[in-house]
Amino acid sequence: MDICQYYFYLKFKAQDEQMKNNQSNHQNKLKSQAQEDAKNRQDQDAELTGPREKRSPYQFKNGAIYEGEWIGQARDGYGVQKWPDGAKYEGYWKNNKAHGKGKFYHVDRDVFEGEWVDDKANGHGTYLHSNGAKYTGFWKDDLQHGNGVEIWADGSKYEGEYCEGKKHGKGVYVWADGSKYDGEWKDNQLHGQGSYSWADGRKYEGGWKESNMHGKGKYTWKDGRYYEGDYYNDKKHGYGVYRWVEGKLYEGGWYEGQQHGKGKYTYPGGEQKFVYYEHGKKKGYLTEEQYNQNQIPENFIHTEDER
């Protein structure tokens, strides 16, 4: 009874969790279920001989009942199979496997409707979870693959590309609170170039690596402040420019989110000050010559705190 591999739905449910929590799926459980199903099959070596014909309902040893078309000893054509636990498949078969258009109802009320090849979701289809989550798009061997749209019960939505069950390629994710990411993905993570807008008005445009801001990027606050420069593992790191609302500008080095190394302040009136930081703490001021020639004095010029 090979369509008992309907427990592939567990894999789909795991993908739903994986989209949000990056949890593992139930492939091992699927494997053991498929092995158990194989023991109950009476038509393992069925041959496609004779005309296709509709027959009276047939009950398998484990209690599943099939009603529909056959060719010889194989389910082939349109048919409906029901399991003792309440699960049901209605659709097309080919040589004892779900193949073509079909709809599967699981005992927990999850439903998949779409295209099948060799007992697996292949082609276009919709998976509706009992909790209200829904995926509509393309599948390959029981996994989301190609373009698709996934909507969760809380209103979150992803529309874009998938590869082997994971968000991969270009896609747009909108969270329930209105936050939005539009860009590239890799293995379910923000990876590549993309733009992230927060619900409170903040925005980041630039590089990402494993869902962290990474590489060149620009971070803008709602009040008009911005940082533009290098990021490493979600922190300002390298060279960057920070601009305040009133127009004051700092350009210089950063290390793990803090000002580090030499930098330059430029004020709205054109005045400039040259400064040196160590891990966010200002050590003192430099002359313009020291700044330009990368000279770090033993004794810094000490003036009033940066205004």
> pTM here?
0.82
CATH of the domain at 78: 2.20.110.10
- Amino acid identity of residue 78, one-letter, is Y
Q: How many domains does the chain have?
A: 1
Any domain includes 235: no
Instruction: List pLDDT tens digits, range 164-177.
Output: 999 999 999 999 99
What percentage of the chain carries pLDDT values higher than 90?
A: 79
Any domain includes 200: no
Domain that residue 13 falls in: 1-153
Long-range residue pairs from 75-78, CB within 8 A, at least 24 positions apart, any chain: 75/43, 76/48, 76/52, 77/52
Any domain includes 190: no
State the residue for tokens 């590309």.
Answer: 161
Mean pLDDT, range 281-294, rounded to an integer: 92
Q: What angle do CA 163, 121, 12 make, to 5 degrees?
A: 65
Instruction: List pLDDT tens digits, range 5-32.
Output: 333 333 334 444 544 433 223 233 223 3
Any domain includes 164: no
Q: How far apart are CA 293 and CA 289, in angstroms?
A: 6
Any domain includes 264: no
For the ranges 35-49, 94-108, 235-249, the lowest mean pLDDT is seen at 35-49
pLDDT-derived band at 302 (thresholds 50, 70, 90) equals low
Any domain includes 5: yes
Any domain includes 181: no
Any domain includes 70: yes
